[in-house]
Structure formats: C-alpha cells, structure tokens
Amino acid sequence: MADKLAVGIDIGGTKIAAGVVDEDGHVLARLKRETPTTEPLEVIDAIASITEEFRREHHIRAIGVGAAGFVDATQSTVLFAPHLAWRHEPLRDSVARRTGLPVLVDNDANAAGWAEWRFGAAQNEADLVLITLGTGIGGAIVIDGQPYRGQFGIAGEFGHMQVVPNGNQCECGNQGCWEQYASGRVLTRRARAAATDGTELGKLMLADAGGTVERIEGHLVTAHARAGNAEAVEWIADVGDWLGVGIANLAAALDPGMFVIGGGVSDADQLLIGPARAAFSRTLTGRGYRAEARIVRAHLGPEAGLIGAADMARITARRRRPASPGARARVRAAARTGRSPKPRR
C-alpha cells in the first residue's frame, strides 16, 4: 500500500473537502476546511496544510485537486474559476512546490465522473455522461473508458448550453442557460420567492431557515418533497422535466449508454429522476426507433470529486514514475540481445 495512497482535494467556493484514498476508491481519512479566501496563495496554503496533516499518518504518493472551473488540457492550470476569482492560476506547479509531491488538477465534475466510472454507478459502462446538479450544472464525459476533455480541456460545461433564447439571465453573462432551469439555483429562487410571498410552503421553509429569507436554500425544498409536500414535489418535478430535455439534447450529440446524475439536487432521488426519464423519453430524437440511455443516480455522493481526483493523480504519478536502476539495466540488456525485458515480480 505504500505507493498506492493519494490525497484528493475538492475545492469549492465555501469549503475544501479532502481525503486519503486507496486504490479501490475507499476514503481512509477525511478533513474539511472553510475555503479561507478567494486568493490563490491562501488556498494553496490550505492544501499544503491538509496534505501535511495527512502525511503524519499515511504514506502519500500524489495529490489530486478538483476545482470548480475551467482547467486546461494539461491538467495543470485553472483558467477560470468564478467562485474563487482565479484566472490562469498555475495550481499544479504551485502545490507541487509546496508539498514536494506529484500533483494533478482537473475540473471537479471530471473528477466525479471518473470516480463514478471507476468505483460507482457506471462501472463497466464504456461511454457515460455525468451531470452534477448543485447551485449550477457541471458535467463530465467518459468515452471508451477515457475522460474526454476536449481540445482545450473545457468539455462538459453543459450548464451553459442555451435552452431558452432570451431566457433567464445567467451568472455567466448569457441568457437562457440550462442551469437556470434545472439546478439547485432554481429551487432556491422559487423557495425564497414563496417565503417572501407568504405561501404555506414558503412559511415552512422560512421557519426552517430561522426566519431569514437569505438562508433558504434548495435543499429545504428537497426535504419537504421527500416528506410528502405536494408543492415541493411539483417543484422538483419541474426541475426533472428540464433535466430530461437537456439530457435528450446531450444524447443527440453524444449517444452515451448511461447518464449519471449527481450533486446535491440528486438527493431528491426518484422524485427528480422519474420526471427526468419521462421528459427524456418524450423529447429524444428518434424515440421509438433507437435504444435509450439509462439515467441513474450517482452512487458516491459528495465525495465523488475527491475520490476521482485522488485516483487520477495516483494513476498519472505511477505512469510518470522513473524506472529503477535495475529496471533500466534490464531494458538495456534486452536492447543488446533483442529480447523483451522480463518484469520483476
């Protein structure tokens, strides 16, 4: 196990979640910290501190960092992270200098998608699309068992597909983006409006939030829906309908065998997935004449990002590890004799 443990770190706008992950995707130790600031140097300090704490008890081989933003194709630089105000931040090299360990950086959804393919809902599935429903919508693509990042490393930003021309204003600057209709942001917006208007469900959620409208978040809608509140169930179903429409568009473009739905909104489970499947089936191009991808809930929950980041970092570090002197000698001997070198057992 000495060279098979890696640290996975999931950086969000408000918190950093980290864990020591083994080669089977099990999290052996966990830490959570508040994201100290939007300044990159202070976040790097936090990553270094977390890693040092883990190294007191574990022999760490590599560090994988999942960031909510655009990461370049070399998995080294955060090009754009709106919640952290990072622009062209060389995160991989900065963390490597601080820790002395190999580091890999990727988009947090890419990391989660890899984890679900390796250890979660999509094992043995060649082609899949992960959709993460949180405050916004993130995504990841795995094709023939390999993450697909696109030419510039930014594939999978599904939340900013335009689904309603001249629709709701999005934080990205455009209008009508998918995440304005099928994310936790939608539930939060409706819940706060209901509380302001004094509806029955709004009053319940306002009480849950201690009487402060600004503390109402989408997860309260999910809680009331799971408890049987009909209005909350309807709101979740509306999000599911929009989710299914977007999935049908993605199926037309990518034709995967499976869509995996993760993120906090997926806690609604079949209250969300059921309407999404129905909307997908009635919207899919060629419906009735083609196979339909399965739509399932993610298995690994909020730790998928750190598990996937750690696993990708460990695999990459293993590939890049310099050969031992003995291995190099066997290769040179094989070159002289024309025989393949025998691996040591």
> DSSP string of 233-277?
HHHHHHHHHHHHHHHHHHHHHH--SEEEEESGGGGGTHHHHHHHH
Q: Do 139 and 237 belong together in one domain?
A: yes
Kindly tell me if the per-residue pLDDT of 285 is higher than 60.
yes
Residue 333 lies in a domain: no
Instruction: Determine what percent of the chain is predicted with pLDDT higher than 70.
Output: 91
Number of domains comprising the chain: 2
Eight-class DSSP state of 126: S
Residue 281 lies in a domain: yes
- d(CA 239, CA 223) in angstroms, rounded, equals 15
Q: Residue 257: pLDDT band by 50, 70, 90 thresholds?
A: very high
> Using an 8 Å Cβ cutoff, are 130 and 112 in contact?
yes
Overall average pLDDT of the 42-58 stretch: 95
Residue 244 lies in a domain: yes
Which structure tokens are listed for 180? 């304005």
Q: Do 276 and 148 belong together in one domain?
A: yes
Q: Name the helix (H) or strand (E) containing 132.
A: strand 128-133
Eight-class DSSP state of 108: H
Residue 328 lies in a domain: no
- Amino acid 269: pLDDT: 97
Average pLDDT, the chain: 90
- Amino acid 82: pLDDT: 73
- Amino acid 321: pLDDT: 61
Q: Do 140 and 29 belong together in one domain?
A: no
Residue 198 phi, psi (nearest 5): 75, 25
Q: Do 107 and 150 belong together in one domain?
A: no
| Range in 169-178, 195-204, 274-283, 334-343 with the lowest mean pLDDT | 334-343
Q: Do 245 and 166 belong together in one domain?
A: yes
Residue 150 lies in a domain: yes
CATH (domain of 13): 3.30.420.40
Q: Do 163 and 269 belong together in one domain?
A: yes
Kindly tell me if the per-residue pLDDT of 334 is higher than 80.
no
Highest mean pLDDT among 1-15, 36-50, 201-215: 201-215
Residue 271 lies in a domain: yes
Overall average pLDDT of the 90-115 stretch: 96
Q: Do 91 and 148 belong together in one domain?
A: no
- d(CA 227, CA 271) in angstroms, rounded, equals 11
Kindly tell me if the per-residue pLDDT of 303 is higher than 50.
yes
- Amino acid 323: pLDDT: 46
Kindly tell me if the per-residue pLDDT of 295 is higher than 90.
yes
Eight-class DSSP state of 285: T
DSSP bridge partners of 297: 261
Parent domain of 308: 6-113+302-320
DSSP string across 5-73: -EEEEEE-SSEEEEEEE-TTS-EEEEEEEE---S-HHHHHHHHHHHHHHHHTTS---EEEEEESSEE-T
Q: Name the helix (H) or strand (E) containing 317.
A: helix 304-320
- 3-class secondary-structure state, position 189: helix
CA atoms within 13 A on the CB side of 125: 28
Overall average pLDDT of the 272-285 stretch: 97
Eight-class DSSP state of 177: B
Q: Do 26 and 88 belong together in one domain?
A: yes
- Amino acid 342: pLDDT: 42
Which structure tokens are listed for 315? 């695999």
DSSP bridge partners of 231: none
Q: Do 156 and 143 belong together in one domain?
A: yes
Residue 130 lies in a domain: yes
Overall average pLDDT of the 145-156 stretch: 92
228 vs 41, more confident: 228
Q: Do 172 and 131 belong together in one domain?
A: yes
Q: Do 101 and 174 belong together in one domain?
A: no
Kindly tell me if the per-residue pLDDT of 332 is higher than 50.
no
Residue 28 lies in a domain: yes
- Amino acid 86: pLDDT: 85
- d(CA 339, CA 131) in angstroms, rounded, equals 48
Q: Do 266 and 136 belong together in one domain?
A: yes
Overall average pLDDT of the 232-260 stretch: 97
